[in-house]
Amino acid sequence: MCGIAGFLTENGRDLTKEHLLAMGEAIAHRGPDASGTYLDDTIGLCHRRLSILDLSEAGNQPMYSDDSNIVIVFNGEIYNFLELRESLISEGVSFRSSTDTEVIIRLYEKLGTQCLSLLNGMFAFALWDKRDNTLFIARDRLGKKPLYYYLENDTDSSGEVSRFAFASEIKALLALPDIKKELRLDAVHDFFAYQYIPDPKSIFQHVHKLPPAHFMLVKNNKIEIEEYWTLSFANKTTDSEKESIDKLRELIKQCTKRRMISDVPLGAFLSGGVDSSGVVATMAGLSETPIKTCTIAFDNKKYNEAQFAEAVAKQYNTEHHELMVHQNVADALENIVSYFDEPFADPSLVPTFFVSELARQEVTVTIAGDGGDEVFAGYEKYAVDDVENKLRAKFPEWMRTQLFPPLATFCNKVRVGPFKKAASLLTSLSVSPAMGFYITNSFITDREWQSLVNTKTNEALASYHPSSLTLDKYNEADASDHLGKILYTDMKTYLTGGILVKVDRMSMANSLEVRAPILDKEVIEFSATLQSDMKYRGKEKKYILKEAFKPYLSDDILYRKKMGFSVPLAQWFREEIKDIAERYLINDVKGLGEIFDISEVKRLWNEHQTDKGDHSTVLWSMLMFEMWWHRYMN
């Protein structure tokens, strides 16, 4: 795992090796073991290395082809690189290192951009081809590894690129001189709706994300972006249920085995949930020595899963490590949030940072159970959505569209918990299943947003609504049923923009590599061939995944109520983080004042502190936004 950055040299601006080094220093946490640069008259490339495979200098980057016409900086891991390497050797190709980076170079020499179809892994790379002055940038299928780029176009009608740079994180782009930091308002609305900013947007007007499963070619001051993979739900398997279960179990075993290849110490995150427990069990069956496992505990029993993690650790005789998160939160929060270069508000970023910090004390690589919920329908929201759709079918359309909205408005006026939930349900039932999925799972209602934003923001965003992201992905899916469409939507939005961003930033903040076997492309593509009732059956979520893990785990682990990697947020605002939150939200407000009516922000704060309402979700988003603003916009 590493950090990469680079730029195209510019007329009228002297970009030097020192600028490359500054970009690299900004993301040094991603690669503390080595650094390297390449600079010619056209391009500059920078690399920060976290050594995982081939720890010798032969693995340092930038890496070159034999004739030095190809230069690459690469972040990530290619899990099938050994098979690809052997295939190339059989064709007479020779190698100078044992790295997966060199495999990419050799494949590109043979296949050009088509090499991406053969790569199975997590990656973002930039490859400079001197032969035709083309910059080839690519990102893995799910966006496990980040890639941002800064773009300014000529003001004339040509639309040619006048300024271009790229990096693993925005902070490296900001290390360059004269970078424009213009706020993107629709991205702000997205952030409060989703708790993250979806690709290809960023919080800045001139900074963009290369979407997952896309590559970019930059040549002759023109940019082309193309999708090279998409997930199809159209073709369904004819295998029996038992055959599918056995196939999934074997797939996860093989994908886990691939991820256990490492020249540095390796361990696992263990929450005590189905996914991480199943992965640890699989690892234990593949390892001759005890697996090192790490977990986070809370003193609030409602959020504490440590006892379940401990039970699995004992069952598989792991070398188990546990950290209690309590007083650490307020002291560490500013540092933790600083690793996000744009607003991000999934509260589980806090325990993810701490478990990464704990793991890094023991290992350099850890394996996690990420993806099980999105790929196999494990979240409670899928059950809620199922109930809503069954209710939606019981009422005629005229009743849902004409009577439910005014009833929802009435319920909203009564600021009591049950009425608030009723308003949300009625609003969701009054619209289409796709829009209902957005409403149920967004983190701020239209009514809340309208009551909070100032007139300037409201007018600027009058024609925009964040639901367009959800609806676009839902309609893009080729699944024949609603569950398939919302799973596709979550894999294209929440997984890539939320879960994987959180894991990447918090692990890389601690120079830790995280690998996720359930998110292997083979597992995902297999899952898409299954009928929906193999994932969500009756009220049982992740049906087939639980069946696959049945030989390894007890029913107490498989069928207990899902807790998720959540935190006691409402309590934190009244206790652990009250002082720091009050400083940012009340006493030293800057960014929030650009978006919201501050008197309304204070109302939310006071109501929460006096226990007149739980506003912890929107307050947390506001806190994350304000902390980001202080660091990046002041």
Lowest mean pLDDT across 124-133, 326-335, 349-358, 398-407: 326-335
Axis crossing angle, helix 185-194 with helix 616-632, rounded to the nearest 10: 140
Residue 172 CB partners (closer than 8 Å, separation 6+): 3, 5, 23, 24, 26, 27, 46
Query: Which is the catalytic residue, given 2, 46, 115, 255?
Result: 2
Full set of structural domains in the chain with CATH: 2-227 (3.60.20.10), 241-377+491-558 (3.40.50.620), 568-634 (no CATH)
Determine the 3-state secondary structure of 227 from DSSP.
strand
How much of the chain exceeds pLDDT 70, in percent?
Answer: 96
Tell me the C-alpha to C-alpha distance, in Å, between residue 234 and each of 27, 117, 126, 536: 41, 20, 33, 18
pLDDT value of residue 415: 63
Tell me the pLDDT band of 154, cut-offs 50, 70 and 90. low
Tell me the pLDDT band of 188, cut-offs 50, 70 and 90. very high
Element (DSSP H or E) covering residue 419: helix 417-429
β-bridge pairing 161-167 and 148-153 = antiparallel
Element (DSSP H or E) covering residue 61: none
Q: Is the predicted pLDDT of residue 163 greater than 60, yes or no?
A: yes
Q: Is the predicted pLDDT of residue 305 greater than 90, yes or no?
A: no
Render pLDDT for 605-633 as a digit per residue (tens, 0 to 9): 999 999 998 999 999 999 999 999 999 99
Hey, what amino acid is at 221? Answer: N
User: Dihedral of CA 27/97/523/316: which sign?
Assistant: negative
Length of the chain in residues, anyone? 634
pLDDT value of residue 456: 96
Tell me the pLDDT band of 418, cut-offs 50, 70 and 90. confident
β-bridge pairing 222-227 and 121-129 = unpaired
pLDDT, averaged across the chain:
93
Q: Where are the alpha helices (DSSP H) in 147-184?
A: 170-173
More confident residue, 431 or 419: 431
pLDDT value of residue 9: 84
Q: Is the predicted pLDDT of residue 56 greater than 70, yes or no?
A: no
- E strands within 453-566? 513-515
The most confident of 190-194, 301-305, 407-411, 508-512, by mean pLDDT = 190-194
411 as an active site residue: the answer is no
Whether the model clears a pTM of 0.85, i.e. scores above it, the answer is: yes
Q: Is the predicted pLDDT of residue 50 greater than 90, yes or no?
A: no
Tell me the pLDDT band of 158, cut-offs 50, 70 and 90. low
Lowest mean pLDDT across 3-17, 86-100, 243-257, 615-629: 3-17
Q: Which residues of 457-492 are buried (b: 16+ CB within 10 A; e: fewer)?
A: beebbeeebbbebbbebbeebebeebbbbbbbbbbb
Q: Is the predicted pLDDT of residue 156 greater than 60, yes or no?
A: no
Q: Which two tokens stand for residue 157?
A: 């009608």
Render pLDDT for 12-42 as a digit per residue (tens, 0 to 9): 567 889 999 999 999 999 988 888 999 999 9
Cβ distance 590 to 633 under 8 Å? Answer: yes
Phi-psi region of 225 (alpha: psi -120 to 50; beta: other; left: phi over 0): beta
Tell me the pLDDT band of 11, cut-offs 50, 70 and 90. low
Residue 594 CB partners (closer than 8 Å, separation 6+): 183, 457
State how far the Cα of 281 lies from the Cα of 129, in Å rounded to an integer: 44
pLDDT value of residue 162: 83
State how far the Cα of 363 lies from the Cα of 605, in Å rounded to an integer: 41
Q: Is the predicted pLDDT of residue 155 greater than 60, yes or no?
A: no
Query: Cβ atoms within 10 A of the Cβ of 588, count?
Result: 10
pLDDT value of residue 573: 95
